[in-house]
Amino acid sequence: LPDVEPDAFLALLKFLYSDEVSVSAESVLTVLYTAKKYAVPTLEEHCVAFLKDNLTA
């Protein structure tokens, strides 16, 4: 998968099998991109919630 970061794809697979996700500030955007690309809306929601909770102005 040339356009998906390995760590983001691993996070996607872990989420699909365990329904748990652990994203960091460094990985959230690539995980969000991967979730959108592979149509995993619940993972998208987790990423968006993480961004909202950790967004600073």
pLDDT tens sequence across 5-56: 999 999 999 999 999 999 999 999 999 999 999 999 999 999 999 999 998 7
**CATH superfamily of the 6-54 domain:** Potassium Channel Kv1.1; Chain A (3.30.710.10)
Nearest to 3 by CA among 33, 47, 41: 33
Q: How high is the pLDDT of residue 2?
A: 86
Domain ranges of the chain: 6-54
Return d(Cα 40, Cα 16) in angstroms, integer. Answer: 9
Lookup result for tokens 């690309």:
37
Q: How high is the pLDDT of residue 57?
A: 58
Return d(Cα 20, Cα 8) in angstroms, integer. Answer: 14
Return d(Cα 4, Cα 14) in angstroms, integer. Answer: 15
pTM (2 d.p.) = 0.90
Return d(Cα 24, Cα 35) in angstroms, integer. Answer: 15
